[in-house]
């Protein structure tokens, strides 16, 4: 960083002579003194992004009723075939690295329908020690409203440090489809994760009480941990899918028929269905996820998933 300089200016009493003024100007330009040192470490510039939106019902369709976006997080609203509002989140910084902080907040009013997705796969890049990249998402869903939280995959890279927190608050009569896919290095690209950190939290509450809580904490050699039979048995991609709706029990048999041998689905409540999918890589994970999401989304999968 370039040093900052100050030019001392004379403040004589009375009106100076012309030749004195010229002399002082020459002295001021040629005699400089340093007031800051380039050796002082300067904080790195980090990405910040905030997106807040609200959706309301308007007859059989849903409409955007509020929007705030700032920093490196933006929203696009493509046209849809159904009555839901579709919001596509875009991280203009190109990924998440150490010290970055992204916040998304959404409110879905009664009888409204919102689908939230991402333009492409999110990427968690190398971070300096003690400086994780943070991604926080808070969504509130009112009575008789519907949420589809269907971001595309998050790809973890070597030496990344990612801390994510997804908190969904449902009213008693609300419905939700939630999916979180993760890729631990792209196997086809020869990427490995021998030094990385991940802290991932998903919390879903309904009527003020928790109905689903999931925590993933991994640090160090993630390759070695994923190879353990009780963890992932060598898989390098996984997805958690939560479906909360009155027809959850009726969907169980159809969902199980679409799952590979490395996945499972359980009904853990009258209207709460949870599925976990393990896959060799991201391509294989999509082969399982897309049929599941197509089945559970009445208005269809967001187009950005198929581009």
d(CA 138, CA 106): 6
Q: For all residues of the chain together, what is the average pLDDT? A: 89
Helix extents (H) in the chain: 18-30, 222-226, 248-258, 282-296
Mean pLDDT, residues 219-245: 96
Which pLDDT score, from 0 to 100, does residue 14 have?
55
Phi, psi (rounded to 5 degrees) for 18 = -60, -40
| Cα–Cα distances in angstroms (integers) from residue 176 to residues 145, 170, 195, 223, in the given order | 8, 8, 35, 32
Which pLDDT score, from 0 to 100, does residue 256 have?
97
Contact predicate 202/212, CB 8 Å:
yes
Phi, psi (rounded to 5 degrees) for 265 = -135, 140
Rg for the chain, CA atoms, rounded: 26
Give the number of other CB atoms < 10 A from CB of residue 273.
23
Contact predicate 218/163, CB 8 Å:
no
Give residue-wise pLDDT tens across range 275-297: 999 999 999 999 999 999 999 99
d(CA 245, CA 180): 18
Give the number of other CB atoms < 10 A from CB of residue 194.
12
Mean pLDDT, residues 83-105: 96
Phi, psi (rounded to 5 degrees) for 248 = -60, -45
The residues, ordered by sequence, that sit 6+ positions from 200 with a Cβ below 8 Å of its Cβ are 162, 164, 180, 182, 214, 215, 216, 217
Rounded to 10°, the helix 282-296/248-258 angle is 150
Place of tokens 């470490």: 41
d(CA 229, CA 241): 21
- Both structure tokens of 193: 């994760």
Strands 272-279 and 263-269: antiparallel
d(CA 215, CA 220): 17
Confidence of residue 28 (pLDDT cuts 50, 70, 90): very low
Q: Please tell me the total number of residues recorded for the chain in this structure.
A: 307
Domain boundaries, the chain: 5-34, 48-299
- Both structure tokens of 12: 């004589």
Confidence of residue 8 (pLDDT cuts 50, 70, 90): very low
Q: How big, in percent rounded to 5, are the helix, strand and coil portions of the chain?
A: 15, 45, 40
Report the b/e string of 67-93 with b at 16+ CB within 10 A: eebebbbebeeeebeebbbbbbbbbeb
Confidence of residue 232 (pLDDT cuts 50, 70, 90): very high
Report the b/e string of 225-252 with b at 16+ CB within 10 A: ebeeeeebeebbbbbbbbbbbeebeebb
* Lowest-confidence region among 9-23, 99-113, 240-254: 9-23
- Both structure tokens of 283: 């391509």
Mean pLDDT, residues 144-149: 98
């Amino acid at each position: 960083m370039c040093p900052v300089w100050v030019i001392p200016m004379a403040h004589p009493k009375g009106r100076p002579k012309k030749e004195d003024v010229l002399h002082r100007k020459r002295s001021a330009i040629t005699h400089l003194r340093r007031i800051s040192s380039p050796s002082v470490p300067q904080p790195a510039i980090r990405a910040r992004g905030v997106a807040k939106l609200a959706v309301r019902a308007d007859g059989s369709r849903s409409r955007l009723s509020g929007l705030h976006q700032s920093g490196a997080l933006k929203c696009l609203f493509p046209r849809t075939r159904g009555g839901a509002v579709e919001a596509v989140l875009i991280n203009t910084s190109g990924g998440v690295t150490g010290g970055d902080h992204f916040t998304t907040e959404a409110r879905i009013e009664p009888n409204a329908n919102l689908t939230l997705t991402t333009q492409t796969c999110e990427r968690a890049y190398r971070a300096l020690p003690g400086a994780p990249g943070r991604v926080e998402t808070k969504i509130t869903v009112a009575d008789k409203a519907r949420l589809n939280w269907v971001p595309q995959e998050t790809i973890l890279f070597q030496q990344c440090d990612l801390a994510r927190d997804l908190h969904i608050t449902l009213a008693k009569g609300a419905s939700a489809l939630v999916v979180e896919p993760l890729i631990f290095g792209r196997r086809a690209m020869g990427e490995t994760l021998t030094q990385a950190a991940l802290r991932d939290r998903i919390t879903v509450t309904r009527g003020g009480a928790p109905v689903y809580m999931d925590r993933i904490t991994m640090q160090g050699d993630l390759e070695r941990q994923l190879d353990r039979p009780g963890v992932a048995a060598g898989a390098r991609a996984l997805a958690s899918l939560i479906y909360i709706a009155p027809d959850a029990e009726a969907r169980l048999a159809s969902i199980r028929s679409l799952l590979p041998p490395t996945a499972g689905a359980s009904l853990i409540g009258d209207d709460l269905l949870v599925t976990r999918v393990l896959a060799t890589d991201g391509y294989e994970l999509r082969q399982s996820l897309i049929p599941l999401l197509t089945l559970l989304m009445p208005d269809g999968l967001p187009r950005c998933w198929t581009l």
